[in-house]
Amino acid sequence: MAPVVEARDLRRTYRTTTGVLRRRPLEVEAVRGLSFEIAEGELFGLLGPNGAGKTTTIKMLITLLLPTAGEARVLGHDVVREAREVRRRIGYVFGGERGLYERLSGLDNLRYFAELYGVSGRAQRRRIDEVLELVGLRGRERERVEGYSRGMRQRLHIARGILHDPQVVFLDEPTIGVDPVGARALRATIAGLVEAGKTVLLTTHYMFEADALCDRIAVIARGRIVAEGTPSELKGGIADRTVVEVEVFGADEAELDRLRELPGVTSVTVSERDQAQLLTIQSPRGLELAQELPALLDGARIGRIAAREPTLEDAYVALVTEEAP
Amino acid sequence: MTSARIVWMGLVYRVREFAVSRWFLLMAVLQPVIFATIAFYMFRAGGRPGTLLYAALGAGMMGIWSSTLFGSGGALQWNRWQGTLELLVAAPPPFLVVLLPLTLATSVTGAYSLVATLVWGRVFFGMPLHLAHPWLFLPAVAGAVLSLGLMGLLMASSFILYRHANALSNLLEYPVWVATGLLFPLTLLPGWVAPVSWLLAPRWGIDAIRRSALGGDVWFPLAMCAAAGAAYLVLAAVFLRIFERAARARATLALT
């Protein structure tokens, strides 16, 4: 069966200028030769850090940006030469609060976009009822969008994106900034789209979200795909590693650098937790770190140390950090 | 039929959007009254009989032009700022059909200026409201509003590519008032201004409206309004085709 979405050596360079008086041309290669395919009914995740090229890739696929090189097809239609054919058949949702008519009600926003997508009359009323029910906005649709919470806006975005019952849906960080309860409801909505037979391309920063939802994932870093596979396959890529979480108080950069340079340590990430720092250290299975930590972190107080099995997030961190220059 | 429906519904939602903006309503109410007051005092000082209605119609048209000029540029910028421009461009209908109601809405809401100016003149300056061709007055106003909306469409077509082009277009407000005879007759201006004014819809719009009110042939300026509007529509279609592709190549549709 032909893929629903296919990208072949897709590239995008942004050209801009730098400087005030002496303007110099500046080129930024956002996407550097992406190739992937998404099958019908599949939920495909595109994961990567900020600036990796995820949004640029989606914008090329939904015809908002022209690729600098390469080609992409959606449902067999070329995104450059057959943009209108592609536009008719897809829906897309960008994360964040923008992209809605603030002064209009949620209902008027949906009605306007329904008109643009050729859904009118009785079908429009029925379809708007359905999507309002699906995203849980029924009863709030007559309020102006400027009074909506972030979660409500995001749900309205999704309602707008699927209003015309598209075959393919592109979701660019749809749960960003949404509270945990709202994000859970949105994830259920996304899962519902796949159950309804839609093909979905999802970008997200949240690994548990990708792990829970995606059939396949491509990890993208600096404009290139660095790994592709099912969540299990990606986790399997670091199955030979151990992940140790260490709670420390007052570790400085020099100490962390010493830890990073320790033979066998493949990555060290730091997240702040109130007074403490949580170090997540990846190393080959069998490497005993616990004895060396007090010497390496001699200026810091060490709290809880725990080893655990690698998660998708660990696999992602390993892929992205090992790709970094 | 579908395109006509999209234009109509787009117009309804844009006007609804304007109507809930207090700032827009305040400007819409105050600006025509200010224009009208200035024009009334200027023409009353001249002491010539029958010129108040001439001045009132010109002041009303100034309001329509200002609304169209700022509204057309502002509409695209506003859509870009609130992140909806990309949604409009990526919608299936031709962008011309999506954009037209945005600019038409500005000239349609600007038509309120004309009404406000006439009421202001009647109530506070005792202006007689006798129309020479009452049945042609509304078609003349409709023709003027439509052709200005199409002129707005032509201007807005460049704003899709150049993010700050509306700042340049703002410079056009006063020159067009003068060059199209909205404030005083074109015969008072140098000869080279007349050919320039032929290209501008407000000139034919105000001619049609004034002749329907004060007497004279209404059909010729109304036909010129239609011709100018058609030319703007064709040019806008060509420009939008080129500029939309260029905007997708240069990535200027989004703010970031």
A226 and A245, same domain (yes or no): no
The domain boundary, picked from A193, A208, A234, lies at A234
Confidence label for B50 from pLDDT (cuts 50, 70 and 90): low
Q: Which residue has the higher pLDDT, A8 or B126?
A: A8
Residue B256 has pLDDT above 60, yes or no: no
Instruction: Mutation target for A interface from B77, B78, B82, B160: give the one with most A CBs within 10 A.
Output: B82
Q: Is B17 on the interface with A (CB under 8 A)?
A: yes
A155 and A42, same domain (yes or no): yes
How much is the pLDDT for B49? 64
Q: B9 and A100: CB-CB below 8 Å?
A: no
Which of A15-24, A42-51, A73-82, A271-280 has the highest average model confidence (pLDDT)? A73-82
Taking the model in full, what pTM does it have? 0.82
Q: Please provide the average confidence, as pLDDT, over all residues in chain A.
A: 85
Q: Which residue has the higher pLDDT, B160 or B60?
A: B60
Determine the average pLDDT of the residues in A140-150. Answer: 90
Domain membership flag for residue A154: yes
Residue A191 has pLDDT above 80, yes or no: yes
What are A42-58's pLDDT values in tens digits?
999 999 888 888 999 99
Confidence label for A82 from pLDDT (cuts 50, 70 and 90): very high
Determine the average pLDDT of the residues in B19-37. Answer: 78
Residue A284 has pLDDT above 80, yes or no: no
Determine the average pLDDT of the residues in B204-232. Answer: 91
A262 and A225, same domain (yes or no): no
- Contact A298/A255 with Cβ under 8 angstroms? yes
| Chain B partners within 8 Å of A65 (Cβ) | 248, 251
- Contact A72/A61 with Cβ under 8 angstroms? yes
| Chain A partners within 8 Å of B98 (Cβ) | 116
Q: Identify the domain containing residue A33 by its residue range.
A: 5-19+26-234
Tokens 């990846």 map to which residue? A282
Determine the average pLDDT of the residues in B33-46. Answer: 78
Spatial distance between the Cα atoms of B229 and A80, rounded to a whole number of angstroms: 31
A172 and A302, same domain (yes or no): no
Q: B16 and A63: CB-CB below 8 Å?
A: no
The domain boundary, picked from A208, A234, A260, lies at A234
Spatial distance between the Cα atoms of B46 and B37, rounded to a whole number of angstroms: 14
Name the packing angle between helices B201-214 and B51-81 (round to 10°): 140
A173 and A261, same domain (yes or no): no
Determine the average pLDDT of the residues in B34-46. Answer: 78
Q: Is B133 helix (H, G, I), strand (E, B) or coil?
A: coil
Report the domain count for chain A: 2
Q: Which residue has the higher pLDDT, A226 or A10?
A: A10
Provide, rounded to the nearest whole percent, the portion of chain A with pLDDT above 90.
Answer: 34
| Chain B partners within 8 Å of A92 (Cβ) | 90
How much is the pLDDT for B119? 87
Domain membership flag for residue A165: yes
| Chain A partners within 8 Å of B248 (Cβ) | 63-66
Domain membership flag for residue A200: yes
Angle (nearest 5°) at CA A120 between A118 and A122: 145
A124 and A160, same domain (yes or no): yes
Q: Is B9 on the interface with A (CB under 8 A)?
A: yes
Looking at chain A, which residue has its C-alpha nearest residue B15?
A104
Domain membership flag for residue A324: no
Its ipTM equals 0.84
How much is the pLDDT for A46? 93
Confidence label for B166 from pLDDT (cuts 50, 70 and 90): low
Q: Is A94 on the interface with B (CB under 8 A)?
A: yes
Q: Is B161 on the interface with A (CB under 8 A)?
A: no
What are A12-44's pLDDT values in tens digits?
988 877 777 777 878 888 889 999 999 999 999
Helices (H), B20-159: 22-46, 51-81, 85-89, 95-125, 134-159
| Chain A partners within 8 Å of B253 (Cβ) | 64
CATH number for the domain including A136? 3.40.50.300
A81 and A218, same domain (yes or no): yes
Spatial distance between the Cα atoms of A92 and A67, rounded to a whole number of angstroms: 18
- Contact A10/A71 with Cβ under 8 angstroms? yes
Residue B81 has pLDDT above 80, yes or no: yes
A214 and A90, same domain (yes or no): yes
A15 and A71, same domain (yes or no): yes
Confidence label for B47 from pLDDT (cuts 50, 70 and 90): low
Q: Is B230 on the interface with A (CB under 8 A)?
A: no
CATH number for the domain including A288? 3.30.70.3190
Determine the average pLDDT of the residues in B65-83. Answer: 83
How much is the pLDDT for B107? 86
Contacts of B83 (CB under 8 A, 6+ apart): A94, A96, A98, A99, A100, B254, B255
Looking at chain B, which residue has its C-alpha nearest residue A84?
B92
Domain membership flag for residue A91: yes
Spatial distance between the Cα atoms of A224 and A11, rounded to a whole number of angstroms: 10
Spatial distance between the Cα atoms of A324 and A242, rounded to a whole number of angstroms: 21
Q: Which residue has the higher pLDDT, A286 or A231?
A: A231
Domain membership flag for residue A149: yes
| Chain A partners within 8 Å of B21 (Cβ) | 103
Q: Which residue has the higher pLDDT, A63 or A252?
A: A63
Taking alpha carbons only, the member of B84, B97, B86 closest to residue A63 is: B86
The domain boundary, picked from A194, A215, A234, lies at A234
Region at B181 (left for phi over 0; alpha for psi -120 to 50; beta for the rest): left
Distances (CA, A) of A2 to A72, A74, A78, A241: 13, 10, 14, 37
Q: B92 and A94: CB-CB below 8 Å?
A: no
How much is the pLDDT for A287? 67
Residue B1 has pLDDT above 70, yes or no: no
A217 and A179, same domain (yes or no): yes
A178 and A221, same domain (yes or no): yes
Domain membership flag for residue A317: no
Token pair, residue A312, equals 């998708």
Domain membership flag for residue A151: yes
Q: Which residue has the higher pLDDT, A258 or A11?
A: A11
A65 and A146, same domain (yes or no): yes
Contacts of A261 (CB under 8 A, 6+ apart): none
Spatial distance between the Cα atoms of B162 and A43, rounded to a whole number of angstroms: 37
Instruction: Mutation target for B interface from A98, A128, A162, A169: give the one with most B CBs within 10 A.
Output: A98
Residue A315 has pLDDT above 80, yes or no: no
Residue A173 has pLDDT above 80, yes or no: yes
Of A14, A84, A108, the CB nearest to B13: A108
Stated length of chain B = 256
Q: Which of residues 58-87 of B touch A (CB under 8 A)?
A: 82-84, 86-87
Of A64, A65, A112, the CB nearest to B13: A112
| Chain B partners within 8 Å of A108 (Cβ) | 13, 16
How much is the pLDDT for B64? 86
Q: Which residue has the higher pLDDT, B121 or A290?
A: B121
Of A14, A92, A120, the CB nearest to B251: A14
| Chain B partners within 8 Å of A115 (Cβ) | 5-6, 9-10
